[in-house]
């Protein structure tokens, strides 16, 4: 299990139907297997996520944010982490819970 506490991530890739971009910053925290984060930037005015480790390298969480149009969006995500040049890289599979659209994104520790 990786330690996500006090790690900062940004998106390096996202599906077209996603709202997160390289301007979005994720501030992660961890207590044992529980994880949470606050995120904002780009199209995201303010967002929060909460979840847990489900294996040695995967987390499962739900997320909710207000975009810059003040639309409330929510979804769920599985992120698989790996180490890449001493930084963490996360491959994400997510789904909006309002439209049920799915997507893929990638985040990288900064």
Task: Give how far Cα 19 sits from Cα of 26, 32, 47, 52, 73, Å.
Answer: 13, 29, 11, 23, 10
Cα gap 62→52, rounded to integer Å: 10
Write the pLDDT tens digit of every residue in 66-82: 999 999 999 999 999 99
pTM of structure: 0.94
Cα dihedral 55, 80, 31, 52 in deg (nearest 10):
-60
Q: Which domains does the chain have, with CATH numbers?
A: 8-109 (2.40.128.30)
Q: Return phi, psi of residue 48, to 5°.
A: -140, 145
Q: Return phi, psi of residue 23, to 5°.
A: -85, -10
Write the pLDDT tens digit of every residue in 15-71: 999 999 999 999 999 999 999 999 999 999 999 999 999 999 999 999 999 999 999
103 pLDDT band (50/70/90 cuts)?
very high
Residue 91, classed as helix, strand or coil, is strand
Helix (H) or strand (E) holding 29: strand 25-31
Cα dihedral 40, 29, 79, 63 in deg (nearest 10):
-50
């Amino acid at each position: 299990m990786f330690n996500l506490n006090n790690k900062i991530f940004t998106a390096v890739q996202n599906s077209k139907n996603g709202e997160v971009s390289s301007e979005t910053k994720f501030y992660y925290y961890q207590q044992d297997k529980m994880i949470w984060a606050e995120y904002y930037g780009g199209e995201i005015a303010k967002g929060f996520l909460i979840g847990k480790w489900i294996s040695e390298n995967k987390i499962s969480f739900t997320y909710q944010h207000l975009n810059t149009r003040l639309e409330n969006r929510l979804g769920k995500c599985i992120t698989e982490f790996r180490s890449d040049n001493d930084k963490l890289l996360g491959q994400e599979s997510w789904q909006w819970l309002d439209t049920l659209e799915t997507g893929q994104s990638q985040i990288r520790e900064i």
